[in-house]
Amino acid sequence: MNIRKAVVERLRELSNNNGITLYKLQKDSGISEGTFLTLIYGDRKGVNLTTLIPLTQQLNITLKDFFDSPLFDNIDD
């Protein structure tokens, strides 16, 4: 799994745990819809921290907490 896919899976997991949709997370975090859709459905392999930070802030977690998941144990290219 590449880093973008792991990030998306982690966002889905945390959104579900918090009882919110990805759409609500995007809107409440102030990330543009285009940027968010590129993250969720795009073909890029990476993710920009300037996109990820507002999302983690909206989820009330640190970046450390975000990446503290087995999803990130076996990242490939």
Query: What range does the domain containing 49 cover?
Result: 3-66
Question: Would you say residue 14 lies in a domain?
Answer: yes
- The CATH number of the domain where 17 resides is what? 1.10.260.40
CB atoms within 10 A of CB 57: 14
Structural domains of the chain, count = 1
Nearest Cα residue to 75 out of 10, 14, 5: 5
Question: Would you say residue 71 lies in a domain?
Answer: no
Average pLDDT, the chain: 93
Rg over CA atoms, the chain: 11
pLDDT given at position 43: 80
pLDDT given at position 71: 95
| Per-residue pLDDT reduced to its tens digit, 12-44 | 999 999 999 999 999 999 999 999 999 999 887
Question: Would you say residue 28 lies in a domain?
Answer: yes
SS3 8: helix
* Mean per-residue pLDDT, 41-59: 91
Give the whole-angstrom CA distance, residue 30 versus residue 58. Answer: 9
